[in-house]
Amino acid sequence: MGSTGDLDYPQIILQYSSGFLVSKVMFTACELGVFDLLLESGEPLSSGAIAAHLGTSSTGMERLLDACVGLKLLAVELTEEGALYRNTDISNIYLTKSSPKSQYHIMMYYSNTVYLCWHYLADAVREGRNQYERAFGISSKDPFGAMYRSEEEVLKFMAGQNSVWRICGRDVLAAFDLSPFTQIYDLGGGGGALAQECVSLYPNSTVTIYDLPKVVQVAKEQFIPPDERQIAFHEGDFFNDSIPEADLYILSKILHDWDDDKCRQLLEKVHKACKPGGGVLLVESLLNEDRSGPLETQLYSMNMLVQTEGKERTASEYSRLLEAAGFREIQVKRTGKLYDAVLGRK
């Protein structure tokens, strides 16, 4: 079969089938410290020098570096001494640990945790449930018990989520004018990166991160400085414990973890606690109404299948959940980025 029109279908299929190879090349270069070393060196290095510094084989490292060049993650210069490699701007900004916009931690979470679940995608499709039991030998009935199965996993997950909000947080918080809401609760706020973006954007606000005790402990120790006066913490399980009164509740990537019944249960509790005139801000990756895309959101929904009890939804589906809980004046803003915003008022 040859090309049809402008599309080379065999080539497209081949590219799709090798997609996971692309991810693993990037993850491996991050894990081994390639980008960090090249940033710290301040000058291009040979594959031999990089291999020696990082304790790898020279043949393996050379192939890894060349693949990174092909992915535009590295640039190469041929000199009399041989090939010399350096980071591209993309790698310096997003793949080095020291960058404020680093995505290193979410890369490692995907590489070491998410990928193991995706190995059992066919089983997840057959059974309609997450695959923590097969991947890690842990009950699939408690998704977050599995995600937080060790202190290392808690830290890895929280650092990964923080890295996402450092590049996506301001877009969703600025989608609506939230300045009238001064007392804000961030349900499942984790490491606090979204809360930090919020108090930076709305300096008259205070944000309370409501999360599980072990998550709050890590956030205090690792992510939120003790002199931060606009961010507070509330330890608890917002499904089973009471939710305090506030002007606004932020649920960022929370509802996509749960089925519709669990979402309605939580939103009803939020509505009951919410001050009159207050609201709830949902931050989620929205599917098109005909479910034709975006591709990233469709893939996230597959990830929800292998890792949680939930799914990604359309704006209409989130609006119906909010309406069923009693919220009104529902507005939807697509940011044009990975995550969108839905605001409901009481």
For residues 172 and 91, state if they share a domain: no
**Which tokens go with 31?**
């894990």
Mean pLDDT, all residues of the chain: 94
Residue 163 CA to residue 129 CA, distance in Å, equals: 27
For residues 85 and 224, state if they share a domain: no
Domain assignment present for 198: yes
Domain assignment present for 179: yes
- Which domain range does residue 202 map to? 168-345
pTM: 0.92
Given a contact cutoff of 8 angstroms between Cβ atoms, the answer to whether 269 and 210 are in contact is no
User: Which residues have CB under 8 Å from 49's CB, separation 6+?
Assistant: none
For residues 66 and 197, state if they share a domain: no
pLDDT tens for each residue of 268-321: 999 999 999 999 999 999 999 999 999 999 999 999 999 999 999 999 999 999
For residues 60 and 204, state if they share a domain: no
Domain assignment present for 90: yes
Domain assignment present for 74: yes
Percent of the chain with pLDDT over 90: 87
Domain assignment present for 286: yes
Q: Nearest Cα to 157, choosing from 166, 146, 167, 168?
A: 146
Known catalytic residues?
Answer: 256
Given a contact cutoff of 8 angstroms between Cβ atoms, the answer to whether 211 and 180 are in contact is no
How many Cβ atoms are within 10 Å of 235's Cβ, its own excluded? 14
For residues 87 and 177, state if they share a domain: no
Residue 89 CA to residue 336 CA, distance in Å, equals: 23
Query: What are the start-end ranges of the E strands in 88-212?
Result: 183-187, 206-211
Alpha-carbon distances, residue 316 vs 108, 271, 307, 320 (angstroms): 34, 19, 24, 6
pLDDT tens for each residue of 165-174: 999 999 999 9
138: pLDDT confidence band, cut at 50, 70 and 90? confident
The total of structural domains in the chain comes to 2
φ, ψ dihedrals at 298, nearest 5°: -60, -40
Tokens 């973890």 — which residue? 257
